[in-house]
Amino acid sequence: MFRRVIMERLIEWKNKENNKPLILRGARQVGKSTLAEELGSHYKVFIRLNLERRRDAVLFEDTDDIQFLIDKIALSQNKEYIPKKTLLFIDEIQELPKCIALLRYFYEDLPDLDVIAAGSLLEFAIGDVPSFPVGRVEQLSVYPMSFAEWLEALREDQALKYFQQTPTPSFAHDRLLELFNTYMIVGGMPEVVSTYVSSGKMISSLQPIYSSIWDTYVRDIEKYGSNNSERAILRHIIAVAPSVRDRITFAGFGKSNYRSREVGEAFRKLDKAGILRLIYPTSSTQLPIQLNYRRKPRVQFLDIGLMNYVAGIQGEMIGVTDLNSLYKGYLTQHAITQELICTQPRIDYLPPFWTRESANANAEVDLLITHKSMVYPVEVKSGAKGRLRSLHEFIKVSDQKVGLRLLANEYSVVSGITADKVEYQLINIPYYDGSKLSGYIEL
C-alpha cells in the first residue's frame, strides 16, 4: 500500500464537523477502493458494501428510512454502528442510482455517520438519478499516481527530497531525468507500480497487469454503448486513440467511415468514463479562459504508461535520454499534462492549449497555466534551441512578458525577444518538474 497525497484530504474530510457524504470519482483501477479502505482503518467500525453484489444491493430495496437502513446494513456485516466512529463505504454505487439519491438523506437524517461512495461508471449513472443530491455531497477525483507519489513508492527518498525543492539542485538533475523517463514508461496505475516494485523493477513483468486493466476497460464498452453500432465505434476509438499523436478530427477518425456526430458522441462517453479526455484549445490570453469547442481537440489518455503499452512503444522508449525527442515531444507533453491533472485538486481540471489560426499562419502553444490571475504560455521543447514561434505569437498578442519552456536541460532564466522586438523572460524548466510550474514562476 503506497501513500497517496489525496489521503491527506480524506483525513481532513474525516475530521470536519458535519461532513457531507463524499463521492470518490475516477476511472477503474486508479485506487478509489484502496483509499477508502485505508481511511477505514482510522475508524473504530468500517463497513464496506459493493453494489455489484446482489446481497449488498438488496439492502436498499425495501426502505428509505436511514436509521433503519444503517441498522440493517450493520447487522448484515455483523458489526455495530457506533455514531461518529463508523465509516460506511458504498462501492460501485452506480449499480443502484437510487442509492446515489439516498446520500442526501444520510447527511440530513444521520449526520453522525461518515459515508463514502465510489463508482467507476458513476458519471453514466448520475443521469439516471431522479434527484442528484446537489449541495448535500462532496466530491474528490482520484487519478493515477503522480511522479512524486511514484518516487515515494519506489523508495527513492533522496530523489524525492531534491524533487521537492524548487529549483531542483543541479547535481540531482540527471538522476531525476532518468527516473521521470522511467515513470513515463511505467506510468502511475497503482497495481502496475506495485508489481514494478515487487518484481525488482522489471518492466517485463508488467505486461499481464497492463493487459488485465486494458481488458477491463474494453469490456466496459458494452456498458457505455446504447446499441451495437455505437459499441463498434467505441471499440474502434479505444483501439486507435492510444497511437494518436496530434489533434483529432471526429469525421473519419482513425481512417474509418464513421461520421463526425457519432464519433464525437462516442468520444464524449469515453471522456465521461475517464479513460481519455478531450482537451479543447483556447484563443484567450487572459482570464476567463474560454474554450473553443469548434476546433480540433487533443486526446489525453488516463495514464501514459498504459497508453504506451497499448500503443506498443514502451520498448522504443527504454534507454532514451531525452524522451522529448520522440514523436515531436508528444509523450513528454502528455506526461506533463497528466502530472498537472493529477496534482490539481480541482474537479475535472484540464490544462488547455492555445491556438491562433489565421489565413496567413497558425500558432499553437502546448499548454496554458494560470497563476495569481495571470495566464502563462508553456512550451515543451527538445534541446536548448527549440523554436519558440508560437510562444512569441502569444507574447505578441497578450500582456504576458514571461514564458515557460519545459525541456531536458537544467533550470535557467534567459531574456528573449520576439520578431516584433517584444522583450520577455523565458524560464527554462526540466520537464520532470512539470507539476511545479507555479513554484518556478515565484522564483
Place of cell 456526430: 261
**What does each C-alpha distance from 119 to 50, 51, 126, 222 come to in angstroms?**
10, 10, 11, 17
DSSP 171-200: GGHHHHHHHHHHHHHH---HHHHHHHHHTT
pLDDT for res 384 = 55
**pTM over cut 0.85:** yes
Candidates 183, 434, 144, 196; CA nearest to 303 is: 144
Least-confidence region, from 86-95, 239-248, 341-350, 372-381: 341-350
288 prior amide bond cis, ω within 30: yes
Q: Looking at the predicted structure, is the pLDDT value of residue 79 above 60?
A: yes
Is 6-141 a domain of CATH 3.40.50.2000?
A: no
pLDDT for res 345 = 76
Q: Are 86 and 77 in contact (CB under 8 A)?
A: no
Place of cell 482520484: 142
Least-confidence region, from 120-124, 162-166, 345-349, 387-391: 120-124
Which amino acid appears at position 391 of this protein? L
Place of cell 530523489: 159
Span 342-369, average pLDDT: 88
Candidates 340, 332, 324, 300; CA nearest to 437 is: 340
DSSP 350-404: ---EEEEE-SS-EEEESEEEEETTEEEEEEE-SSTT---HHHHHHHHHSS--EEE
pLDDT for res 333 = 94
> What pLDDT band is residue 62 in, cutting at 50, 70 and 90?
confident
> What pLDDT band is residue 385 in, cutting at 50, 70 and 90?
low
Helix residue ranges, H only, 127-249 = 147-153, 157-163, 173-186, 190-198, 207-224, 228-240
Q: Count H helices, E strands: the chain?
A: 18, 15
Q: Looking at the predicted structure, is the pLDDT value of residue 249 above 90?
A: yes
Longest distance between any two alpha carbons in the chain, whole Å: 75
Give all strands (DSSP E) within 26-113, no chain letters: 45-50, 86-91
Candidates 287, 292, 291, 304; CA nearest to 340 is: 304
Q: Identify the three-state secondary structure at position 341.
A: helix
**What does each C-alpha distance from 201 to 153, 206, 213, 326 come to in angstroms?**
12, 9, 19, 23
Listed by start position, the domains of the chain span: 6-141, 208-442
Which amino acid appears at position 289 of this protein? I
Which amino acid appears at position 236 of this protein? H
Candidates 176, 208, 236; CA nearest to 408 is: 176
Handedness of CA 169, 171, 174, 178 (dihedral sign): negative
Q: Looking at the predicted structure, is the pLDDT value of residue 383 above 70?
A: no
Place of cell 484530504: 9
Instruction: Mark residue 121 as left, alpha or beta (left: phi above 0; alpha: psi -120 to 50; beta: remaining).
Output: alpha
- B/e letters for 230-260, b = 16+ CB within 10 Å, e = fewer, are bbbbbebbbebbbebeebbebeebeeeebee
Calculate Rg over the CA atoms of the chain. 23
> What pLDDT band is residue 121 in, cutting at 50, 70 and 90?
confident
